[in-house]
Chains A and B, each alone.
Chain A
Amino acid sequence: EIVLTQSPATLSLSPGERATLSCRASQSVSSYLAWYQQKPGQAPRLLIYDASNRATGIPARFSGSGSGTDFTLTISSLEPEDFAVYYCQQRSNWPPAYTFGQGTKLEIK
């Protein structure tokens, strides 16, 4: 099973600052890496798919990069509504499976 490790576990920043979140895979996932945002009491919301493609309706301040085993989610200038938990997710072809990282909590400093 491919394991995804996210860092840091918690990131404390202020509105307007730049956020950089990391996701490392235990083996190559090609570009099959997605990012989600989750707020309390809500389902995860897809932000980025295939490493760098923004999902429908996602603001341009969210961007994704990377391939193979190292991936990054960048939020260029934090808005108050961006403070949440962020997860990465990969899909492996065989056996077919999806795994998630343990999450990064982005909190207001």
Chain B
Amino acid sequence: QVQLQQSGPGLVKPSQTLSLTCAISGDSVSSNSAAWNWIRQSPSRGLEWLGRTYYRSKWYNDYAVSVKSRITINPDTSKNQFSLQLNSVTPEDTAVYYCARDEVAVAGHAFDIWGQGTMVTVSS
């Protein structure tokens, strides 16, 4: 049974960096058929995909245009997890952040496993 467990602070100051981690159990961050994603949800922006990391003989990343200049997603193979860093945050980055798996072999191009969500508030 695949599970994703998120961790990280719920409060970040404006202009600082938002950092979250997603620990994977039951699958591998180095899987050759899965991609590991970050998605956020807010009342103003709805569900918004932020980016992903995946391994296909080497590591790849894709990022949403809206955050491309501020985002980094990194895999950590030693801990079987992946992380999100979002720089220079503003109150508009306040949202519930989710990690999610995209496994083509199981669910096409959809997110079949989700983390529990982390409410992140950007405020001084």
Q: Which residues of A contact B (CB under 8 A)?
A: 1, 32, 34, 36, 43-46, 49-50, 53, 55-56, 87, 89, 91, 95-100, 102-103
Q: How far is the CB of B69 from chain A (nearest CB, A)?
A: 15
**B106 proximity list for chain A (CB < 8 A):** 56
Provide the residues of chain A in CB contact with B76, threshold 8 Å: none
Residue of B nearest to A45 (CB): B114
How extensive is the interface on chain B, given as a class?
20 to 34
Q: Complex: how many Å from CA A1 to CA B48?
A: 12
| Chain B residues within 8 Å of A46, by CB | 107, 110-112
User: With the chains together, A98 CA to B39 CA distance in Å?
Assistant: 10
Interface majority SS (helix, strand, loop, mixed), chain A = strand
Mark interface residues in B96-111 (1 if CB within 8 Å of A CB, else 0).
Answer: 0010100000111111
Cβ–Cβ contact A34 & B47, under 8 A: no
Closest Cβ–Cβ distance, residue A70 to chain B (whole Å): 18
Across the interface, which residues of B come within 8 angstroms of A56, CB to CB? 106, 112
Q: Indicate if the CB atoms of B108 and A50 lie closer than 8 Å.
A: yes
Q: Are B47 and A87 in contact (CB under 8 A)?
A: yes
Whether B109 pairs with A50 at a CB distance below 8 angstroms is yes
